[in-house]
């Protein structure tokens, strides 16, 4: 119900109350996900996650519009590739980029690590690191990632590494880009919306051919994630 004052439609007190309730519920959902990202390990609340979308730098970077997360950012093409896979995969319900700084204490001091992604996959939260295939050939990078893997295991945090070859096999990225170009723009992020559907209410798929392509892409992305989630990250390093 609305009341008209001076020719303008303004929400009634009851309508405003419902709006505030929805807002509080939305914030609570987001807060729960953010809390989970830091609850299992020492989280440095004083240290801000670095700003990855800046005017400087040579790597492709930007903001990714998503139905599964707000203010998502990437700083390389392979991070963008990963976001496309997570966006399409129906097993993924929520995404956060560079969600938290994790502190791992060891004999050498404190190892600080910022995951690339936090993704909710089949109702479980996974930290995700995306790397080029050659990352293990860099001694410094390899040594650091091996330490991260050990600490993640000791802290009982779900974690996996995905490399560019995983994301670009069989023309996957071309297929996803063409398909997502046909999808309605996500608009403002709303955690209450079912982000695994084609579009917002009123934009349901009616084309059988496009429906089949969308469902097939979701299956491919789900299967890709299941493979890399089950893979031993140590297998990515040369013996």
Task: State how far Cα 111 lies from the chain centre.
Answer: 23
Q: Where are the alpha helices (DSSP H) in the chain?
A: 13-36, 77-88, 139-154, 164-168, 172-182, 208-230
What per-residue confidence (pLDDT) applies to 47?
47
State how far the Cα of 132 lies from the Cα of 33, in Å rounded to an integer.
Answer: 28
pTM over 0.75: yes
Which residues are within 8 A (CB) of 14 and not within 5 positions of it... i.e. 6 or more apart? 1
Residues in the chain with pLDDT values less than 50: 1-11, 15-16, 18-19, 21-29, 38-41, 44-48, 50, 52-56
The tokens describing 23, both together, are 């807002």
Q: Per-residue DSSP letters for 31-99?
A: HHHHHHTTTTS-B-TTSPPPP---S--SS--EEE--SS-SSEEESSHHHHHHHHHHHH-TTEEEEEES-
What per-residue confidence (pLDDT) applies to 33?
57
What per-residue confidence (pLDDT) applies to 34?
59
Q: Tell me if 211 sits within 8 A of 81, measured CB to CB.
A: no
The tokens describing 126, both together, are 């996974």
Task: For each of the domains in the chain, give its residue range(s) and CATH number, in order of start.
Answer: 27-236 (3.40.1350.10)
The tokens describing 157, both together, are 């945090």
Which residues are within 8 A (CB) of 100 and not within 5 positions of it... i.e. 6 or more apart? 37, 38, 43, 49, 114, 115, 118
What per-residue confidence (pLDDT) applies to 113?
96
What per-residue confidence (pLDDT) applies to 93?
97
């Amino acid at each position: 119900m609305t009341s008209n004052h001076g020719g303008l439609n303004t929400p009634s007190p009851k309508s405003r109350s419902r709006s505030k309730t929805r807002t509080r519920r939305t914030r609570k959902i987001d807060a729960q996900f953010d809390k989970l990202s830091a609850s299992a390990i020492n989280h440095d609340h004083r240290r801000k996650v670095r700003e990855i979308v800046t005017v400087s730098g040579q790597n492709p970077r930007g903001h990714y519009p998503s139905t599964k997360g707000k203010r998502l950012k990437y700083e390389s093409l392979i991070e963008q590739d990963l976001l496309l896979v997570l966006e399409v995969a129906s097993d993924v319900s929520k995404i956060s980029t560079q969600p938290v700084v994790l502190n791992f204490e060891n004999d050498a001091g404190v190892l600080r690590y910022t995951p690339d992604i936090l993704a909710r996959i089949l109702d479980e939260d996974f930290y995700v690191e995306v790397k080029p295939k050659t990352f293990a050939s860099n001694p410094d990078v390899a040594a650091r990632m091996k330490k991260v893997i050990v600490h993640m295991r000791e802290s009982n945090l779900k974690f996996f590494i995905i490399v560019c070859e995983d994301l670009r096999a069989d023309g996957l990225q071309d297929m996803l880009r063409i398909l997502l170009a046909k999808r309605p723009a996500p608009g403002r992020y709303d955690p209450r919306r079912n982000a695994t559907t084609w579009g917002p209410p009123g934009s349901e798929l009616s084309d059988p051919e496009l429906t089949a392509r969308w469902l097939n892409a979701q299956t491919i992305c789900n299967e890709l994630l299941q493979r890399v989630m089950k893979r031993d990250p140590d297998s990515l390093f040369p013996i």
